[in-house]
Structure 1
Amino acid sequence: MPVKLTKAEQTRRTRRAILDRARHLFATKGYAATGTEEIIRELGVTRGALYHQFGDKLGVFKAVIVEAYDEIAAYIQAKVQLLDQNWQQLIVGCQAFLEVAHQEELRRLVFIEAPAVLAADDLVELDQYGFGLLYASIQLAVAEGELDTIDAEGFAHLVNGSLNDLAAWVAQSNDPNRLKTAQSLIETLLVRHRSSRN
Structure 2
Amino acid sequence: MARKARAEMIEETRTKLLSAGRQAFGTIGYADTSMDDLTASVGLTRGALYHHFGDKKGLLQAVVKELDVEMDVRLEQISDAAVGHWEGFVGRCRAYLAMALEPEIQRIVLRDAPSVLGNAYSQSSQSHCLASMAHMLQQLMDEKVIVRTDSESLARLLNGGLVDTAFWIASCKDAEAGLATSLHSLSIVLSGLLLDK
TM-score clears 0.5: yes
Asked whether 1:177 is paired with 2:177, we answer yes
Alpha-carbon separation, structure 2, partners of 1:153 and 1:86: 17
1:33 partner SS: coil
Asked whether 1:193 is paired with 2:193, we answer yes
Alpha-carbon separation, structure 1, partners of 2:2 and 2:180: 51
Map 1:131-170 → 2, pairs under 5 A: 131-170=130-169
Alpha-carbon separation, structure 1, partners of 2:29 and 2:126: 21
Residues 146 and 194 of structure 2 are in contact (CA less than 8 Å); yes or no, is this contact kept in structure 1? yes
- Structure 1 residues 166, 3: CA separation in 2 closer, same or farther (over 3 Å shift)? same
Instruction: Using the TM superposition, give the Cα deviation of residue 139 of structure 1 relative to its aligned residue in structure 2, in angstroms.
Output: 1.0
Alpha-carbon separation, structure 2, partners of 1:64 and 1:175: 24
Partner residue, 1:80: 79
1:30 partner SS: coil
Map 1:17-166 → 2, pairs under 5 A: 17-166=16-165
Gaps of 5+ in 2: none
Amino acid at match of 1:126: S
Amino acid at match of 2:152: E
Alpha-carbon separation, structure 1, partners of 2:12 and 2:105: 23
1:101 partner SS: helix
Gaps of 5+ in 1: none
Amino acid at match of 1:7: R
Alpha-carbon separation, structure 2, partners of 1:148 and 1:166: 24
RMSD between aligned alpha carbons? 1.5
Amino acid at match of 2:125: L
* TM-score, scaled to structure 1: 0.92
Residues 76 and 93 of structure 1 are in contact (CA less than 8 Å); yes or no, is this contact kept in structure 2? yes
Residues 101 and 167 of structure 1 are in contact (CA less than 8 Å); yes or no, is this contact kept in structure 2? yes
Alpha-carbon separation, structure 2, partners of 1:21 and 1:55: 16
Residue by residue over 1:140-186, the C-alpha shift from the partner in whole angstroms, topping out at 9 and shown as x without a partner, is 11111111153221111110011001111111235423212212222
Instruction: Using the TM superposition, give the Cα deviation of residue 3 of structure 1 relative to its aligned residue in structure 2, in angstroms.
Output: 4.2
Residues 79 and 85 of structure 2 are in contact (CA less than 8 Å); yes or no, is this contact kept in structure 1? no
By percentage of residues, which structure has more helix? 2
* TM-score, scaled to structure 2: 0.93
Query: How many residues are treated as equivalent by the alignment?
Result: 196
Percent same amino acid among aligned pairs? 29
